[in-house]
Amino acid sequence: MSASAVHSLWTTAATAAEPISKIDAPKIEYAQLSPTLIVIGAAVVGVLVEAFVPRKSRYYTQVFVAVVALAAAFSAVVALAASGYGTTKAHIAAMGAIAVDGPALFLQGTILLAGILGVFTFAERRLDPEAHGNRVDAFAAQASSVPGSDSEKAAVKAGFTTTEVFPLLLFAISGMLVFPSANDLLTLFVALEVFSLPLYLLCAVARRKRLMSQEAAVKYFLLGAFASAFTLFGIALLYGYAGSMSYATIAHVVDGTVTNVDPALAGTMGNDVLLLMGMALVVMGLLFKVGAVPFHMWTPDVYQGAPTPVTGFMAAATKVAAFGALLRLLYVVLPGMRWDWRPVMWAVAIVTMLGGAIVAITQTDIKRLLAYSSIAHAGFILAGVIATSPDGVSSVLFYLGAYSFVTIGAFAVVTLVRDAGGEATHLSKWAGLGRRSPLVAAVFAVFLLAFAGIPLTSGFAGKFAVFRAAAEGGAGALVVVGVISSAIAAFFYIRVIVLMFFSEPKPEGPTVAVPSPLTMTAIAAGVVVTLVLGVAPQYFLNLANQAGVFVR
């Protein structure tokens, strides 16, 4: 060994040892990330509240913290959008991990509003009859006690309530806020887990029909874990392909504009097999979250088993977050691959629209019915995703906003119709509801008509927007399939209306509970948004249009 070689060993060692002090602190734009940070902070506060605040006042403290935090986060989103971060100042923050742009802010705003209404429905305590003199909500007295056991009875008697649902909800929301704005694959995955895990838990804590609720949670968790694993595997393959987790870099590699190959990855980098497989697996994970056929199997069971306020929130917000992430992935990372993914997504959209609508016809449980309806809606939204145009993005954004309010409102109405066993979700029990409580039935009919896409409701405006974008994007055949499945779907929405208004009420039928102002607010907001977006959608279409450009 020569002296110079030895010397070089020394020098290398010296230079390697030296720069430790020179690692730059990551640059975090706290103001631009404030919506997420506020919600995470509040969630942590919520955990502390569980630990330190006396049991009696926990409920009020938690509701207060959650509502204030979500409202503050929403104002932060509005402030960011008002100062131009949605349009001209859109950029990538947090060292390339998170995008602050129009779609991200629009979807975060939608998720936060859905979250506020979600908190309202979570906090409802007037629907169930009082247990041992305590007002109770939709959640188990003590989630850890075995259903039907003595410890459960003791917990109910002691008047315990699971106020942990509020911090869990906030954690889920924080994950959902990051999900559509994630700008690298690792952030995407972390956000996915952060919002999924609290949701699995929330599904398991129903006060009534606890076994069904726990079964739903286990199913959701197992299938969700599979989906996460697929996503993670896909991420690994994409890293092997591009040598980076960053959306921008992967996009450049796909376009062939990156030439400096990482020597460690020289064997795999730019290998299209990795790209195609990785893309397929990541997209699969996202399609699972939106509930698209053939990854929809969890939807009906989970929607039915979960406590109804959770179902309403999850149905709305998860869809928003997941479609946001899917849009960003397909439009920012993989636009260069659209000739590969479009045919596949075509097929997925078609089977999702038709599958959801056809299977829904045979459902006899209102929550399962709404679950299949949500699958069909996922198909309609996919039609907008496939448009691959700015109109496609804005139409999907608009649809998601419109849809989430209808969904939360509809599930909130479901919580009101009750009999001795809790919520009366079997359709036969809804017979004659229109005679008994015309107002509730009429409100539910408005939501159903919006789901069916009847003009003058938000559902029609949204459907028209995505179908138009799809038609302009050359997917005319998808529009025809969409129209046909709308017609099929209309059948079962109308069946419920027939039941409510044209059937004779049964003598031992359910009663409609009078809710507190909280649920009423959620329902009223749903109705107002549904009608306003149906009659005068222009302002919101403008918002969605301005928000329709991704930053790269």
Residue placing its CB nearer to other proteins in the complex, 235 or 382: 382
Q: Does residue 106 belong to the site contacting other proteins (CB under 8 A)?
A: no
Residues 6+ apart with CB under 8 A from 74: 35, 109, 112, 113, 116
Q: Does residue 505 belong to the site contacting other proteins (CB under 8 A)?
A: yes
Residue 466 and residue 483 in contact, taking contact as beta carbons nearer than 8 Å: no
Position 142, amino acid? Q
**Identified binder of other proteins from the candidate list 460, 462, 509, 527, rule CB under 8 A:** 460
Select from 44-52, 169-177, 210-218, 464-472 the region that touches other proteins (CB under 8 A). 464-472
**Identified binder of other proteins from the candidate list 9, 483, 514, 528, rule CB under 8 A:** 483
Q: Does residue 494 belong to the site contacting other proteins (CB under 8 A)?
A: yes
**H or E stretch including 313?**
helix 308-328
Q: How far is the CB of 538 from other proteins (least distance, A)?
A: 5
Q: Does residue 507 belong to the site contacting other proteins (CB under 8 A)?
A: no
Q: Does residue 187 belong to the site contacting other proteins (CB under 8 A)?
A: no
Q: Does residue 520 belong to the site contacting other proteins (CB under 8 A)?
A: no
Q: Does residue 362 belong to the site contacting other proteins (CB under 8 A)?
A: no
Distance between CA atoms of residues 304 and 203, nearest Å: 10
Q: Does residue 503 belong to the site contacting other proteins (CB under 8 A)?
A: yes
Token pair of 332, please? 């920012």
| Distance, C-alpha 61 to centroid of its chain | 26
The size of the interface with other proteins (CB under 8 A), counted in residues, is: 41
Residue 276 and residue 359 in contact, taking contact as beta carbons nearer than 8 Å: no
Q: Does residue 439 belong to the site contacting other proteins (CB under 8 A)?
A: yes
SS (H, E, C) 231-279: HHHHHHHHHHHHCCCEHHHHHHHHHCCCCCCCHHHCCCCCCHHHHHHHH
Residues 6+ apart with CB under 8 A from 46: 62, 65, 66, 166, 167, 170
Residue whose entry in the numeric block shows the structure tokens 């998720």: 111
Q: Does residue 147 belong to the site contacting other proteins (CB under 8 A)?
A: no
Q: How far is the CB of 438 from other proteins (least distance, A)?
A: 6
**Identified binder of other proteins from the candidate list 129, 294, 343, 438, rule CB under 8 A:** 438
**Identified binder of other proteins from the candidate list 212, 435, 531, 532, rule CB under 8 A:** 435
Q: Does residue 449 belong to the site contacting other proteins (CB under 8 A)?
A: yes
| Distance, C-alpha 367 to centroid of its chain | 17
Select from 75-83, 323-331, 498-506, 513-521 the region that touches other proteins (CB under 8 A). 498-506
Q: Does residue 455 belong to the site contacting other proteins (CB under 8 A)?
A: yes
Select from 49-57, 172-180, 404-412, 434-442 the region that touches other proteins (CB under 8 A). 434-442
Q: Does residue 486 belong to the site contacting other proteins (CB under 8 A)?
A: yes
Residue placing its CB nearer to other proteins in the complex, 131 or 480: 480
| 184 beta partners | 246
Q: Does residue 468 belong to the site contacting other proteins (CB under 8 A)?
A: yes
Residue placing its CB nearer to other proteins in the complex, 229 or 498: 498
Q: How far is the CB of 303 from other proteins (least distance, A)?
A: 25
SS (H, E, C) 514-548: CCCHHHHHHHHHHHHHHHHHHHCCHHHHHHHHHCC
* CA distances (Å), origin 272, targets 230, 241, 347: 18, 7, 22
452 — alpha (psi -120 to 50), left (phi > 0) or beta? alpha
Residue 241 and residue 256 in contact, taking contact as beta carbons nearer than 8 Å: no
Opening angle at CA 428, ends 422 and 432, nearest 5: 95
Residues 281-300 close enough to bind other proteins by CB under 8 A: none
Contact residues for other proteins (CB under 8 A)?
434-439, 449, 454-456, 460-461, 464-465, 467-468, 471-472, 476, 479-480, 483-484, 486-487, 490-491, 494-495, 498, 501-505, 536-538, 541-542, 545
